[in-house]
Structure formats: C-alpha cells, structure tokens
Amino acid sequence: MRKRSTVTYELDAEKPLSAAERAEIKGLATLPDETIDTSDIPPVSDGFWRHAVRNPFYRPVKQQLTVRVDADVLAWLRSKGRGYQTKLNAILRQAMLQDVTKR
C-alpha cells in the first residue's frame, strides 16, 4: 500500500501588508459592484437553495452543564427512546432559531 503525503500550508497572519498590497486592496474596495466580472460564476437558482444542506462535517461545540428540568418533561423525553439529551438540544435549537428569525 502506497503512503500518501499530505501537503500543508500556513498563513502568516502576523506579517503586515506591504504598501503596494494595501494600495491594491484600497483600490479594489473603491470599485463599484458593476465593474466586478462575475461571468465565470454560474447563476444560482432557488432550487439550489431548496435542496441545500448544512455542512455534514459541521459539529457545534458542546458544553456540559447541569440543568433542572421538570420530572414529567424528563419522563416524556426519556419515553421517546435513546438520545433524550440530543432531543432536548434539538427542541432548544428550534426555539432559538425561531426567536432569532423573529428579529
């Protein structure tokens, strides 16, 4: 079996921009949007977004905490089978997203 080599690159964020780079960025920022050539970008239809899915590799950072929940609510969650904490998180996320979209 052949071993594959991995190529990695590092961004030197500490390196300041040169005067020429700053001038180029400033010049690009002042251009009106109409002058940007977007001919190589394919159009995106509403159908594209209808079938779009969130990055399947995305995993939100979990944080452990202690929370007090009414006994009947906990019993209901557990009665649904395994993964009651995941279900609780999904319910809270849905409520959060509804609240965020109202604003």
Residue 3 reports pLDDT greater than 70: no
pLDDT of residue 83 exceeding 70: yes
Longest CA span, the chain: 66
The pLDDT value recorded for residue 2 is: 63
Q: Look at 12 and 86; give whichever has higher pLDDT.
A: 86
Could you tell me the residue ranges of all domains in the chain?
A: 68-103
- pLDDT, residue 88, reads 95
- The residue assigned the tokens 């009665």 is 79
| Tokens, residue 73 | 């609510």
pLDDT digits (tens, 9 = 90+) for 33-68: 889 888 899 888 888 888 888 888 888 889 999 999
Who contacts 87 (Cβ-Cβ below 8 Å, separation ≥6)?
77, 80
- Give the pTM: 0.46
- C-beta separation of 22 from 15 below 8 A: no
Beta strands, E only, 1-103: none
